Chains A and B, each alone.
Chain A
């Protein structure tokens, strides 16, 4: 099996599983607790149906939209995800280049293995930075200022990781960053020698954006969970978020909003967007899926800020359903990380091409000429 054989989420997942040492694969693949929310994020799309219109003479549908002040060629983009060099030696460079090629957003995590400056040097495409508020405020300020200087278009503040979720697969596999060899994981690394070879022969693993401020996660083998619990400020509140919005002074989103009340408050503190997300089911198991919640949020605030649906998207039709329910765009993490693991930049490009073609095909089958024609009238929820 190779990249050309990958035609859907599961194909990419299977190929990634073949390429990655088990602890790393399961770090992407796993969710919190019993993974009930992780599964619901996708299955929620199956509880409503699309109603197409016929004889609409669609021609070539316009898939473009505008988010964070940038026009993008299709209503999907790459969610910020940490430590991409674990999945492929090119890491963020591969995803940034692939996203630019398809005219959409690449997003950088605070915990990226490439620096803000490095990525802005190689990509002039739309870029979003994902911020964690650290206990050490100077880390937060430093990240905001560097992104501004480097020409990032948008900023998103993650608000659903005040404490780490219970990712049991990571407990079992002993996943750490940087990867640590333990007796139990030895065999899973030994089974993927080409991954190990690339990992040790390429640039040293580091958390490039925060390495000057803290050596945690770079020099000392830490589990991600310990890192989150030690470095992130659990006292973060609306004032802190407002401070970040002001300091950024540009398109700003809260990532991880789930309640209507919080969506309204996001407007009050000056956000231009929210990302409805439960962190891919990796934090609070049992929390509602973004798609189940989007209509209520869209009805309340859809005309005042951009709504991004983050989580569970596997298919072009999922994107269409999310847009019909009120999203401006969708983002995904797992799906593109599997494609990155499976084939680096080429893998991510293959995925984006596949998703583009699916959205394009399904827009034609829906009889829609542009994304604004996707509205509530095209959806019926099953009772």
Chain B
């Protein structure tokens, strides 16, 4: 199987599984507990059907939308995800360049393996920095200042990782950052020698936003769940978020809002957007899927801030459904991570290109030429 054989999300996933040592693949692929929420995030789209309109003259389709004051050419973007150089040696460089090519938003994680400065020197298209509220206030200030200086457009504070989720696949495979060779995982690393050679020869593994402050994740092996539970500030509250929002003094979003009341509070503290998200089902299993919860949140705050639906997207039609319900844009991590693991920048470009082609085709089939043509009139929920 090669990149040219990848025609959809599942194909990229299969190729990624072939390329990655199993602890790393399962870190991407896994979720919390029984992964009920993870699978619901996608299956939720199947409980609603699209109703097309005909004879509308649809030869030119405009997929652009405006989020956080930036016009982007696609109604979806790359969510911030951690540790990308573990998946492909180019890591954030590959994803950033692909996002630039399609002129969409690129989310960079606090746990990124390439620095905000390097990314900003590389791409001038819209960029989002994803921020974890650490116990170390010096680290927090440093992240905000560096992202500001690097001209990042949006700051997203993650609010659903107050403690680590129970990611049982990681417990079984012993996944840590940086990767640790154990007797149990030796075989899986040994059977993927190319990954090992690239990991060792293509530049040192770093977490440039954190490593001046904390050893965990770079010189001390830690699981991601453990990192959340021990390094992040569990006392984080609305006051802290409000202060950060003011300190950033620009477009600010909360990532991981699920309840309507929290969405309203986000408006009150000055946020300009929220990501409706359950962290890809990786935190609280049994929590509602973003798509199931989207309409209520859009109804409550959709006219005041940008509501982004994050999680579960595997198809252009999934995105059409979320946009029809009122999401300003869609976002996903696995959406491009399997493709990154499969083939680096070329993989991500192929994946983004396919979603774009699907969206264009499906918009035409729906009888729509621009995103604002989509509305709830196009949807019927099965009862």
Contact = CB atoms under 8 A, between A and B. Distances in A.
Interface of A: 7-8, 45-46, 49-59, 314-315, 317-318, 320-321, 358, 361-362, 364-367, 380, 382-383
Contact of A58 (B162, B171, B241, B285): B162
B256 interface: yes
A12 to B, nearest CB: 13
B283 to A, nearest CB: 6
A315 B286 CA distance: 10
B163 A364 contact: yes
Contacts of A58: 162, 234
A46 B286 CA distance: 7
26 contacts: A7-B168, A7-B171, A8-B34, A49-B292, A51-B258, A51-B288, A52-B160, A53-B259, A53-B262, A54-B258, A54-B259, A55-B240, A55-B241, A55-B262, A57-B235, A58-B162, A315-B33, A317-B284, A317-B286, A318-B286, A358-B166, A362-B284, A364-B163, A365-B287, A380-B288, A383-B381
B166 A56 contact: no
Given A49-B286, A55-B240, A362-B286, 8 more contacts: A7-B171, A49-B287, A51-B287, A54-B159, A57-B237, A58-B162, A362-B284, A364-B163
A203 B258 CA distance: 56
B233 to A, nearest CB: 9
Contacts of A57: 234-237
Contacts of A364: 162-163, 234
Nearest to A11: B168
Given A46-B36, A383-B383, A55 B235 contact: no
B261 interface: yes
A55 B261 CA distance: 12
Contacts of A8: 33-34, 168
B115 interface: no
B285 A317 contact: yes
A54 B36 contact: no
B333 interface: no
Contacts of A50: 284, 286-288
Name the interface size band of chain B. Answer: 35 or more
Interface in B11-38: 33-34, 36-37
Contacts of B213: none
Contacts of A56: 237
A365 B33 contact: no
Given A56-B237, A358-B166, A365 B159 contact: no
B259 A365 contact: no
B293 interface: yes
Contact of B163 (A49, A55, A318, A365): A365
Which 3 A-B pairs have CB atoms at the shortest separation, nearest pair first? A49-B288, A317-B286, A57-B237
A65 to B, nearest CB: 20
A380 B294 CA distance: 13
Contacts of A367: 162
Nearest to B168: A7
B259 A315 contact: no
Contacts of B168: 7-8
Contact of B293 (A45, A51, A59): A51
Contact of A51 (B33, B34, B159, B259): B259
A338 to B, nearest CB: 16
A54 B286 contact: no
A78 B258 CA distance: 33
Contacts of B289: 49
Contact of A54 (B164, B165, B172, B256): B256
A150 to B, nearest CB: 39
Question: Which of A52, A366, A380 has the most C-beta atoms of chain B within 10 angstroms of its own C-beta?
Answer: A52
Contact of B286 (A53, A55, A320): A320
B187 interface: no
Given A45-B286, A315-B285, A317-B286, A55 B166 contact: no
Nearest to A46: B36
A362 B37 CA distance: 14
Contacts of B236: 55, 57
Interface string B251-279: 00010111101100100000000000000
A55 B283 contact: no
Contacts of A54: 159-160, 162, 254, 256-259, 262
Nearest to A9: B34
A49 B296 CA distance: 14
A76 to B, nearest CB: 16
A369 to B, nearest CB: 12
Nearest to B39: A46
B383 A361 contact: no
Contacts of B288: 49-51, 380
Nearest to A364: B163
A55 B159 contact: yes
A172 B164 CA distance: 45
Contacts of A361: 163-166
A365 B284 contact: yes
Nearest to B233: A57
A303 B198 CA distance: 63
Nearest to A54: B159
Interface string B109-123: 000000000000000
A364 B225 CA distance: 14
Given A317-B33, A365-B162, A382-B292, A52 B238 contact: no
A366 B256 CA distance: 12
A364 B287 CA distance: 13
B272 to A, nearest CB: 17
A44 to B, nearest CB: 12
Nearest to B34: A315
A75 to B, nearest CB: 16
A362 to B, nearest CB: 6
Contacts of B34: 8, 314-315
Nearest to B265: A55
Given A59-B234, A315-B33, A361-B166, A52 B287 contact: yes
B300 to A, nearest CB: 13
Contacts of A314: 34
Question: Which of B172, B241, B287 has the most C-beta atoms of chain A within 10 angstroms of its own C-beta?
Answer: B287
A7 B174 CA distance: 13
B235 A59 contact: yes
A59 to B, nearest CB: 6
B224 to A, nearest CB: 14
Contacts of B287: 49-52, 365
A55 B288 CA distance: 18
A362 B287 CA distance: 10
Contacts of B292: 49, 380, 382
B171 to A, nearest CB: 6
Interface in B91-115: none
Contacts of A51: 258-259, 287-288, 293
